[in-house]
A and B are shown apart, each in its own frame.
Chain A
Amino acid sequence: MLAGVLAAAGCAAAEAEMDLTPSVCALAADQSRCEERVTIEWQAAGQTQALCLFVDRENEPLACWEKDRQGQYRYRAETDESLTFQLRRTLDGELLASELFEVIREYTEFRSRRRKPWNFF
Chain B
Amino acid sequence: MPYTLLTRLRHPTRGALAACLAFALWHQPLGATASSGCTEANERCVATGTWEFQIAVGAGVRTNPIAAADDIPLVLIPQITYYGKRFFLDNLDLGYTLVDRPDWMLNALVTVGGDGLYFFEDSWGRFVLDGGLGTLESGFNKAPAAPGEGDAANDGDAGFGPVEDSSDEGPTEAPRQSHLPKLRERNIAALAGVETSGQMGRFEWQLQALSDASNVHDGQELRFAVSTATQAREHHLGMSVGFNWKSAEVMEYYYGVTQGESGTGRPAYRPDSGTSPFVRLSWTRPAGEHWRWLGSVQYEHLSEAIRHSPLIDRKQVIQIFFGGVYHF
Give the B-binding residues of A (Cβ under 8 A). Answer: 108-121
Contacts and interface: CB of A to CB of B under 8 A. Distances in A.
B135 A118 contact: yes
Identify whether the interface residues of B are mostly helix, strand, loop, or mixed. Answer: strand
Contacts of A114: 88, 90, 95, 105, 107, 197
Nearest to A110: B38
Given A116-B206, A118-B242, A110 B46 contact: yes
A116 B135 CA distance: 11
Nearest to A108: B47
B240 A118 contact: yes
Contact of B204 (A109, A111, A117): A117
B202 interface: no
Interface of B: 34, 36, 38-41, 43-48, 54, 56, 77, 79, 83, 85-86, 88, 90, 95, 97, 100-102, 105, 107, 131, 134-136, 197-199, 204-206, 223, 225-227, 240, 242, 278, 280, 294, 296, 321, 325
26 contacts: A108-B47, A108-B48, A110-B40, A110-B48, A111-B46, A111-B85, A111-B100, A112-B101, A112-B102, A112-B105, A114-B88, A114-B90, A114-B95, A114-B105, A115-B198, A115-B204, A115-B205, A116-B134, A116-B206, A117-B197, A117-B205, A117-B206, A118-B278, A119-B134, A120-B296, A121-B325
Contacts of B41: 110
Given A116-B134, A117-B204, A121-B294, A110 B227 contact: no
A26 to B, nearest CB: 16
A115 B105 contact: yes
B100 A120 contact: no
B47 A109 contact: yes
Contacts of B198: 115
Interface of A is mostly: loop
A117 B325 contact: no
A120 B88 contact: no
A112 B36 contact: yes
A117 B100 CA distance: 17
A60 B226 CA distance: 68
A121 B80 CA distance: 11
A31 to B, nearest CB: 17
A70 B321 CA distance: 73
B38 A118 contact: no
B90 A111 contact: no
